[in-house]
Structure 1
């Protein structure tokens, strides 16, 4: 298991009480290994990942999309995931 690339992403946690709603943003890291892609709570086998793409939304970043056999998983990114996506596409050519 060799690390190929990593990408930071954000997760917004919404806490609701009887009198207020509070949003907390956590910074997390996605790891691309030669046999899997790992996020904080999910792990995808590399053969189940069909593609990785991203779309910028305004000036605050955008969304990184992990296209898998089980659906599409969006992740909020604050910095460009271009290097991460290109690393995946280059590695995918070797499979």
Structure 2
């Protein structure tokens, strides 16, 4: 299927070593296709994604919420995902 939009996100993982606790950021991308949304380890059929929302946190970035039939998945983003959300809503509007 055709790629419609991409949204960078960050996965923050806590690592514990003998010298202390560390946080490691892993840059990843959400991909929106006409029939699905794909992250590094998950794939959601577009029919199972009900909506997306965004909540700014602090002065930089925020949280992107993917509302699915199996629950809500949260992605940490460093820039506003408004274009990605608009592309998703246009995609589902054209299919319904």
Unaligned runs of 5+ in 2: none
The equivalent of 1:69 in structure 2 is: 69
| CA RMSD across the alignment | 0.8
Shift of 1:18: 4.0
Shift of 1:17: 2.5
Deviation string, structure 1 residues 41-78 (Cα, Å, up to 9, x no partner): 10001100000110101102100000000000000000
The equivalent of 1:35 in structure 2 is: 35
Q: Secondary structure at the match of 1:15?
A: strand
Unaligned runs of 5+ in 1: none
The equivalent of 2:89 in structure 1 is: 89
Shift of 1:13: 1.2
Pairs within 5 Å for 1:38-49 = 38-49=38-49
The equivalent of 2:17 in structure 1 is: 17
Shift of 1:94: 1.1
